[in-house]
């Protein structure tokens, strides 16, 4: 088993920023009645308070689900060495200034009306708590330790994990 290091406040926000920005796309999960509804999404920004900002069409299922139940789960994973799970609340905003601030031309793939599209809205995710797992060293060291572990039969876990609050 790897090392345990729980993080809070600024350390937790920095870990979230690092992992979510490095991984880029995660599963954005809402609830419809008692069933989880998941779809891949990328945060456009992670601010200094730890809020993750997304953009979507206000007519989407996820917006209706958030309005019904604002509880959201975010799951990020990359390879064998980066994992992030966040639990929190989502808020739907129609702030034109923030939309323009977050706008990126790639969003036109999903919102062909562009930044002026009246159906464009923002999802602000505020995390309550989460959990992370990643490795202390780079991928080459991790792979070498995994190979050594297989050859020797000894655990050489290079991981670090902990709660985020």
For residue range 93-117, list pLDDT tens digits in order.
999 999 999 999 999 999 999 999 9
What is the distance between the alpha carbons of residues 163 and 160, in angstroms, rounded to a whole number? 11
What's 119's DSSP letter? T
Beta strands in 33-80 (DSSP E): 35-42, 45-46, 52-57, 71-78
Domain ranges of the chain: 3-164
8 Å CB contact between 90 and 60: no
In the predicted model, what is the mean pLDDT of the chain? 89
State the fold for domain 3-164.
Pnp Oxidase; Chain A (2.30.110)
Q: In this model, does residue 127 exceed pLDDT 60?
A: yes
């Amino acid at each position: 088993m790897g090392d345990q290091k729980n993080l809070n406040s600024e350390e937790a926000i920095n870990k979230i920023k690092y992992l979510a920005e490095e991984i880029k796309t995660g599963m954005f999960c809402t609830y419809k009645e008692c069933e989880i509804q998941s779809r891949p999404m990328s945060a456009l920004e992670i601010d200094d308070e730890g809020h993750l900002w997304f953009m979507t069409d206000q007519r989407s299922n996820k917006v209706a689900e958030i309005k019904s139940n604002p509880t959201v789960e975010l799951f990020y994973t990359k390879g064998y060495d980066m994992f992030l799970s966040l639990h929190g609340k989502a808020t739907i905003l129609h702030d034109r200034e923030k939309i323009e601030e977050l706008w990126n031309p790639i969003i036109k793939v999903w919102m062909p009306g562009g930044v002026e599209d009246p159906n464009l809205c923002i999802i602000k995710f505020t995390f309550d708590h989460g959990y992370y797992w990643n490795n202390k060293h780079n991928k080459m060291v991790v792979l070498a330790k995994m190979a050594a572990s297989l050859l020797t039969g000894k655990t050489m876990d290079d991981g670090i994990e902990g709660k985020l609050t």
